[in-house]
């Protein structure tokens, strides 16, 4: 069967956003990573030409308005115009919402003496669903909605009837939160359930907001919608392979989608439990062994988190060049390693048999219990370990704070 539409879906690029400080990139590698981030757009535009894509769907958060620059806006305008007349559909999300002063407003761009979007870029500007017929894709209708600066999208907008065009392939594009999939740190916006989405009857829904790939299927296993996720990782919440989607819609309305990796790097977070490792070389060997098992690509970015307990009085020392040549970037976090003190044992010693150490631990533990916030609690807990070092090891070395 011949497909009637081939689409590319990308969202949550978050251009001009910052990269996690916890990844600890040196300046030269941070510069490379930022260039690669922007290069995602160039790669997508090349794919559109090379693979005969009929339409590009961008369901939100293409850019971060909080830190956006005029240079990036002009870059996007130039790149998108280079693939005209291929339609590019943009439904602004919660990080690139439409407003009078947004880059999506041509009047604002004109006022700033910047170039405006070419005719192939179709931006949904209203805060209710609207439908358009595509001028270069006959028989294709796209319905979308824009996020707003002043209107929170906490209502269930997908409940009820959203009009579709008769005798057309109908595509829904929006930025929203799928029930049961929202990460703890993610804002719930335009919430919906799989049942609500499927009931609307659209042939396909391109959805943005979540940064991992997932698809919505009906009772027969047919694809009815999907998140591409973000195309490139920038922080520890975006570990693992990241994708865009290449999809086809056929005459019988059947949809096929393929997730495609376009970033040649992947972020890995790897935990190493130091409990039971009683010397530095044992820790280094454990890191080598686990990192080699978890990763295979020299282009990757590796964040190694050390956890557990290590003998008091000892310091985990990681040589400056350790595994540095094996990956684009590797960094080590020792802040969660605690000395192998049995704090509870000190607390449970009866007052009549108190040692200096137990009195010290009991006193500071009471302060921990009454700490005003996590920051104060961590400071006091670190003080307990430093105090026990002084009392039992007769020396104090900085080791509990990263």
The CA-to-CA distance between both ends of the chain, in Å, stands at: 59
| The pLDDT of residue 304 | 97
Query: Which residue, among 271, 204, 215, 208, has the nearest Cα to 239 in the 3D structure?
Result: 271
9, 256 contact by CB (below 8 A): no
Q: How far apart are CA 2 and CA 130, in angstroms?
A: 29
* Maximal CA-CA distance, the chain: 88
| The pLDDT of residue 1 | 60
Q: How far apart are CA 128 and CA 123, in angstroms?
A: 13
Query: Which residue, among 203, 216, 128, 137, has the nearest Cα to 170 in the 3D structure?
Result: 203
Residues in the chain with pLDDT values less than 50: none
* Residue 166 neighbours by CB distance under 10 Å: 7
Query: Domains plus CATH for the chain?
Result: 3-260 (3.60.21.10), 267-393 (no CATH)
63, 107 contact by CB (below 8 A): no
| The pLDDT of residue 385 | 84
Q: How far apart are CA 105 and CA 366, in angstroms?
A: 57
- Look at residue 321 and give its three-state secondary structure: coil
| The pLDDT of residue 401 | 59
116, 76 contact by CB (below 8 A): no
Q: Exposure string (b/e) for 233-246, b if CB count within 10 Å is 16 or more?
A: bbbebbbeebbbbb
Q: How far apart are CA 221 and CA 347, in angstroms?
A: 57
Residues 6+ apart with CB under 8 A from 255: 203, 204, 222, 223, 224, 247, 248, 249
| The pLDDT of residue 152 | 64
Model-level pTM?
0.87
Q: How far apart are CA 232 and CA 298, in angstroms?
A: 17
Residue keyed to tokens 């251009």: 15
């Amino acid at each position: 069967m011949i497909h009637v539409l081939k689409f590319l879906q990308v969202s949550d690029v978050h251009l001009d956003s910052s990269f996690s400080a916890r990844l600890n990139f040196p300046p030269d590698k941070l510069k490379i990573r930022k260039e690669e981030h922007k290069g995602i757009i160039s790669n997508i535009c090349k794919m559109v030409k090379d693979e005969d894509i009929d339409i590009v769907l961008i369901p939100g958060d293409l850019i971060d308005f909080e830190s956006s620059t005029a240079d990036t806006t002009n870059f996007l305008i130039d790149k998108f115009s280079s693939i005209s007349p291929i339609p590019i559909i943009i439904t602004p999300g919660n990080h690139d919402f439409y407003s009078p002063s947004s880059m999506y407003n041509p009047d604002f761009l004109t006022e700033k003496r910047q170039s405006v979007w070419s005719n192939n870029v179709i931006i949904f500007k209203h805060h209710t669903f609207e439908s358009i017929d595509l001028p270069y894709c006959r028989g294709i209708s796209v319905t979308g909605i824009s996020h707003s600066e002043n209107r929170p999208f906490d209502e269930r907008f997908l409940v009820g009837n959203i009009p579709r065009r008769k005798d057309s392939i109908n595509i829904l594009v929006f930025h929203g939160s799928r029930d049961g999939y929202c990460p703890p740190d993610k804002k719930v916006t335009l919430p919906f359930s799989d049942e609500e989405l499927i009931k609307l009857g659209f042939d396909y829904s391109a959805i943005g907001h979540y940064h991992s790939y997932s698809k919505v299927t009906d009772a027969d296993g047919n694809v009815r919608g999907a998140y591409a996720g973000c195309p490139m990782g920038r922080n520890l919440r975006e570990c693992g392979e990241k994708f865009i989607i290449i999809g086809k819609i056929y005459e019988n309305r059947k949809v096929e989608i393929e997730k495609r990796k376009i970033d040649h790097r992947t972020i890995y977070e790897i935990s190493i439990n130091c409990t039971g490792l009683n010397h530095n070389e044992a820790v280094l060997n454990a890191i080598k062994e686990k990192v080699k098992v978890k990763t295979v690509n020299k282009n990757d970015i590796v964040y190694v988190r050390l956890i557990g307990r290590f003998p008091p009085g000892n310091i985990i020392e990681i040589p400056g060049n350790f595994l540095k040549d094996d990956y684009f970037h590797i960094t080590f976090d020792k802040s969660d390693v605690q000395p192998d003190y049995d704090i509870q044992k000190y607390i449970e010693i009866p007052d009549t048999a108190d040692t200096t150490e137990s009195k010290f631990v009991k006193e500071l533990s009471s302060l921990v219990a009454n700490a005003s916030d996590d920051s104060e609690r961590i400071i006091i807990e670190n003080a307990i370990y430093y105090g026990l070092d002084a009392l039992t090891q007769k020396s104090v070395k900085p080791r509990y704070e990263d």
